[in-house]
């Protein structure tokens, strides 16, 4: 009897978890995919390489363009927040973006740069404060 109660509780909690994860998740897209599929207002995880010559400091923020790994379409992103140490042109990055008024705005502190070395390095993810 106790087992049944415990299992049901577990199932209920698990369902809540599963449901929210699907709705809270942001899909990972490459720049070419983003250009095709992006809907305004939804957030996406943009993954790709920082295109050469596109990094500029603009006031408090950073503008840069993200291109497909294999080269090609580059999407300009207006980003504010912490810039991880390994960030530079040619590095692979993941940044959460939202399409606003035709521009792509990077979510604050969401920039992650993949470290080039093959082994462990820094997680540069910003923790959201609650």
Partner 1 sequence: MAELGRICLLLALIVCVYGIGVSLYGARTGRLEFSDSGRRAVYALAIVLTVAFAVLELAFLRNDFAFNTVADTSSRTTPTFYRAAAVWSSQEGSLLLWAWLLSLWSSLALFLVRRRLRDVSAYATAILLGLGGFFIALMIFYASPFQTTTPKPAEGVGLDPLLRFPTMMIHPPMLYSGYTLCTIPLAFAAGALLARRVDADWIRATRRFAMAAWLFLGIGILLGARWSYSELGWGGYWGWDAVENASLMPWLTGTAFLHSLMIQEKRGMLKVWNVSLVLATGTLAIMGTFLVRSGILNSIHAFGGATLGVPFVVLIGVLIAGSIYLVVSRREMLRSEHRLDSLLSRESIFLANNLVLVALCFVIFWGTYFPLISEAFTGNEASVGPPWFDRYTVPLALMLVLLSGIGPVIAWRRATLANARRNFVVPLACGALTALGLLAAGVTQKPLALAMFCCAAFVFGSVGQEFVRGARARRAMAGGAPPAALLGLVRRNRRRYGGYVVHVGIAVLFVGVAASSSFQHAVEQRLTPGSSARVGAYTVRYVRPTAAITPKNDTAHTGSTLDVGAVLDVSKGGRHVATLRPSQGFYDSGEPAQGTVGHLIGGQAVSHISMNGGLTRDVWTAIAPDISTPALQRIVSVGNRTLPADEAGVAIGVLAREYLKNPPPAQFHFIVSPLVMWIWIGGLIVFGGGLIAIWPTPSAVRRRVALRSRARASHGLARA
Q: Which of residues 13-42 bind partner 1 (CB under 8 A)?
A: 13-14, 17-18, 20-22, 24-28
Contact 111, 87 (CB under 8 A): yes
65 counts as binding partner 1 under rule CB under 8 A: no
Distance CA 127, CA 104 (A): 22
Q: Counting contacts by CB under 8 A, is residue 119 touching partner 1? A: yes
In the block, tokens 């070395």 appear at: 117
Q: Which residues contact 119 (CB under 8 A, 6 or more apart)?
A: none
**Rg of the Cα atoms in the chain:** 18
Kindly state the DSSP code that residue 9 receives in the 8-state scheme. H
What minimum distance in Å lies between the beta carbon of 73 and partner 1? 19
Residues that contact partner 1, how many (by CB under 8 A): 49
User: Judged by CB under 8 A, does residue 130 bind partner 1?
Assistant: yes
Positions in the binding site for partner 1 (CB under 8 A): 6, 10, 13-14, 17-18, 20-22, 24-28, 45, 47, 57, 59-60, 81-86, 88, 92, 94, 96, 110, 112-130
């Amino acid at each position: 009897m106790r087992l049944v109660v415990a299992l049901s509780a577990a199932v209920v909690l698990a369902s809540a978890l599963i449901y929210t994860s699907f709705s809270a998740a942001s899909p990972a897209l490459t720049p070419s995919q983003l250009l095709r599929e992006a809907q305004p207002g939804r957030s996406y995880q943009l993954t790709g390489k920082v295109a050469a010559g596109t990094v500029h400091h603009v006031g408090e923020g950073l503008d840069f363009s993200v291109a497909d790994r294999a080269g090609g379409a580059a999407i300009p992103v207006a980003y504010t927040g912490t810039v991880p140490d390994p960030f530079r042109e040619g590095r692979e990055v993941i940044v959460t973006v939202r399409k606003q008024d035709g521009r792509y705005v990077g979510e604050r502190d969401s920039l992650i740069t993949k470290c080039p070395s093959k082994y462990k390095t820094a997680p540069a993810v910003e923790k959201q404060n609650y």
